[in-house]
């Protein structure tokens, strides 16, 4: 029997929820790192017991944690407990929370400035890790999307981090923070092409590399931000909330933008809108069914000024046609007096058959569907606000 | 020996219980105490002061002898009673309620 492990990051700690393949009975462990904001946890696809976690605090900054036993025990990768704190030659061991923008002449870029809320230019300043994306092939390699927006990579299991600084070359001076900060929040690796990576940044847009991170280009043609940008068709500056793809069709991308649900059939070369009959096309998460590349899910919320679901009803919307035609999935979800949000990393799909779907809310509920969204049950109802949900099919 | 009291979250990271005691060479200042602390507990690097600029993080405060020393120069001598170990240096998470 297969098993499921959900990694839930919340405003006040992390939780690990486990079940067998039936996905009916769940064990809950946690809080891990109680009191800290756990932006994201994600396991290695090639070594599932290896899990990376972003632990952060307005007081004490960024910590990276790693588990090598499926979330039972954790360590800061640079300084495992009980080991000497220096290398044999006396140098300090890796500092796993050291994210320093690369300004070296060999590989880096001058640390220029980006736009701030008030229109002034501000230098890049590291704040936190929003998203961790383990490599598809090497358990020691993991990418980190950070605020202020940049992409870092570790090839020593999270001990040390190097920026892929070429990304900031793509009109970085025009990037600007959204209300949540200027964050690189989505990292998509292409299983069919190890040289290709997509990232998405609020508020800058989608960027693609075809040389494993050395050089980048903006892939935002077709996005329109009429009320957010002076030039609605600008090359960069769009507030992309999340992107998703099915591994079998890496050129087909789906996007939940600030407003608009979008689709690209050419690896981001051009986008077109597929919002169709959604009640509102504002939202944060978007994901693709594990076995049906044209079945996609979003969770619309009312608007940019009212970050909760419309009409007091939590509805996940499903399109079986790759967009445009959407159906509301409501069975088992609250349909009155509900005013939660589902954040960008708080929806995920497992790879069992039928496909399982999970959403975590800002109200602290995690809902599970074991039948691709047809019906739902709460796993937990009273966690702190959920920031992220990732699933491992074991 | 210098006595340092850490906030709860940093005690958890450093895997220590109560106060920590540190041997500090030379003048006892914020900088020398933090260097001794981070050498002994490298997992605390970046949590009290920035990795690169070494500036105190905005929501961290340094108290001793019922005084807020947060805005003192990092190279200013700490009070004698801290240097002698009679009183601890308190590293505190600032109030940020709402």
- Give the long-range contacts of residues A100-105, CB within 8 A, separation 24 or more: A100/A126, A100/A163, A100/B51, A100/B52, A101/A126, A101/A150, A101/A163, A101/A165, A101/A168, A102/A162, A102/A163, A102/A165, A103/A165
State how far the Cα of A278 lies from the Cα of A300, in Å rounded to an integer: 8
pLDDT value of position A335: 98
Q: Which residue of B has its CA nearest to A79?
A: B43
| Rounded average pLDDT over B31-55 | 93
State how far the Cα of A40 lies from the Cα of A225, in Å rounded to an integer: 28
pLDDT value of position A119: 81
Q: Is the ipTM of this complex over 0.85?
A: yes
Q: Give the domain ranges of chain A.
A: 1-26+274-394, 36-78+94-248
Residue A145: which region, alpha, beta or left (left: phi > 0; alpha: psi -120 to 50)?
beta
Q: Give the domain ranges of chain B.
A: 2-93
CATH 2.130.10.10 for domain A36-78+94-248:
yes
Give the global pTM.
0.94
State how far the Cα of B89 lies from the Cα of B69, in Å rounded to an integer: 10
Interface touch B7/A59, C-beta < 8 Å: yes
pLDDT value of position A92: 55
Query: What tokens were used for A306?
Result: 């009212």
Q: Please provide the CATH number assigned to the domain covering B2-93.
A: 3.10.20.30
CB atoms within 10 A of CB A369: 24
Contacts of B41 in chain A (CB under 8 A): 85
Contacts of A97 in chain B (CB under 8 A): 45-47, 51
Fold for A1-26+274-394, please state it: Methylamine Dehydrogenase; Chain H (2.130.10)
Which of A38, A53, A59 should be substituted to probe chain B, the one whose Cβ sees the most B Cβ atoms within 10 Å?
A: A59
Q: What is the pLDDT confidence band of residue B81, given thresholds at 50, 70 and 90?
A: very high
pLDDT value of position A308: 96
Q: Write the CA distances from A373 to A140, A297, A356, A359, integer angstroms.
A: 34, 9, 7, 10
Fold identical between A1-26+274-394 and A36-78+94-248?
yes
Q: Which residue has the tokens 């929501």?
A: B59
Q: Which residue of B has its CA nearest to A63?
A: B47
Interface touch A61/B46, C-beta < 8 Å: yes
- A62/B contact by beta carbon, under 8 A: yes
pLDDT value of position A238: 94
pLDDT value of position A356: 98
Query: Do A385 and A362 form a contact (C-beta atoms < 8 A)?
Result: yes
Q: Which residue of B has its CA nearest to A35?
A: B9
Count of pairs with CB atoms under 8 A, one residue in A, one in B: 58
User: pLDDT tens per residue, chain A (394 residues)?
Assistant: 589 999 999 999 999 999 999 999 999 999 999 999 999 999 999 999 999 999 999 999 999 999 999 999 999 998 765 566 556 665 556 678 999 999 888 887 777 889 888 888 899 999 999 999 999 999 999 999 999 999 999 999 999 999 999 999 999 999 999 888 999 999 999 999 999 999 999 999 999 999 999 999 999 999 999 888 889 999 999 999 999 999 999 999 999 999 999 999 999 999 999 999 999 999 999 999 999 999 999 999 999 999 999 999 999 999 999 999 999 999 999 999 999 999 999 999 999 999 999 999 999 999 999 999 999 999 999 999 999 999 999 9
Interface touch A59/B57, C-beta < 8 Å: yes
- B43/A contact by beta carbon, under 8 A: yes
Contacts of A98 in chain B (CB under 8 A): 45-46, 51
């Amino acid at each position: 029997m297969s098993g499921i492990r959900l990694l839930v990051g919340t405003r006040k700690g992390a939780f690990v929820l486990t079940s067998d393949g039936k996905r009916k009975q769940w064990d809950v462990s946690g809080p891990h790192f109680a009191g800290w904001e756990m932006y994201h946890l994600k396991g290695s696809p090639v070594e599932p017991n290896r899990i990376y976690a972003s632990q952060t605090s307005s007081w004490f900054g960024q910590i990276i944690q790693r588990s090598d036993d499926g979330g039972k025990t954790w360590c800061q990768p640079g300084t495992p407990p009980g080991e000497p704190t220096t290398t044999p030659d006396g140098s300090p061991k890796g500092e796993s929370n050291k994210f320093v923008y690369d300004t070296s002449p060999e590989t880096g870029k001058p640390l220029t400035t980006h736009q701030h809320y008030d229109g002034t230019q501000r230098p890049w300043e590291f704040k936190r890790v929003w998203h961790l994306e383990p490599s598809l092939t090497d358990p020691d390699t993991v990418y980190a999307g950070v605020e202020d927006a940049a992409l870092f990579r570790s090839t020593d299991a999270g001990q040390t981090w190097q920026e892929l600084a070429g990304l900031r070359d793509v009109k970085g001076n025009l990037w600007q923070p959204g209300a949540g900060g200027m964050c690189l929040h989505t990292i998509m690796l292409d299983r069919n092409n190890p040289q290709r990576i997509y990232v998405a940044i609020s508020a800058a847009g989608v960027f693609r590399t075809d040389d494993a991170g050395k050089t980048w280009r903006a892939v935002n043609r077709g996005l329109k931000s009429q009320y957010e940008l002076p030039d609605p068709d600008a090359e960069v500056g769009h507030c992309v909330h999340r992107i998703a793809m099915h591994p079998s069709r890496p050129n087909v991308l789906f996007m939940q933008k600030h407003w608009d649900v979008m689709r690209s059939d050419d690896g981001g070369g051009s986008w077109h809108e597929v919002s169709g009959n959604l009640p509102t096309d504002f939202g944060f998460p978007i994901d693709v069914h594990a076995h049906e590349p044209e079945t996609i899910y979003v969770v619309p919320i009312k608007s940019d000024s009212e970050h909760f679901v419309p009409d007091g009803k939590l509805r996940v919307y499903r399109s079986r046609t790759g967009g445009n035609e959407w159906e509301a999935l409501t069975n088992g979800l609250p349909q009155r007096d509900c005013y939660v949000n589902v954040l960008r990393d708080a929806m995920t799909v497992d790879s069992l058959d039928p496909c399982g779907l999970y959403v975590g809310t800002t109200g602290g509920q995690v809902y599970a569907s074991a039948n691709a969204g047809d019906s739902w049950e709460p796993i937990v109802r009273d966690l702190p606000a959920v920031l992220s949900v990732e699933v491992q099919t074991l | 020996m210098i006595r340092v009291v850490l906030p709860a979250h940093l005690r958890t990271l450093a895997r220590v219980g109560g106060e920590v005691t540190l041997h500090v060479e030379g003048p006892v200042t914020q900088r020398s105490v933090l260097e001794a602390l981070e050498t002994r507990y490298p997992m605390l690097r970046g949590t009290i002061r920035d990795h690169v600029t070494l500036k105190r993080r905005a929501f961290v405060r340094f108290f001793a002898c019922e005084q807020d020393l947060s805005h003192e120069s990092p190279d200013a001598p700490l009070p004698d009673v801290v240097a002698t170990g009679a009183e601890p240096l308190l590293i505190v998470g600032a109030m940020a309620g709402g």
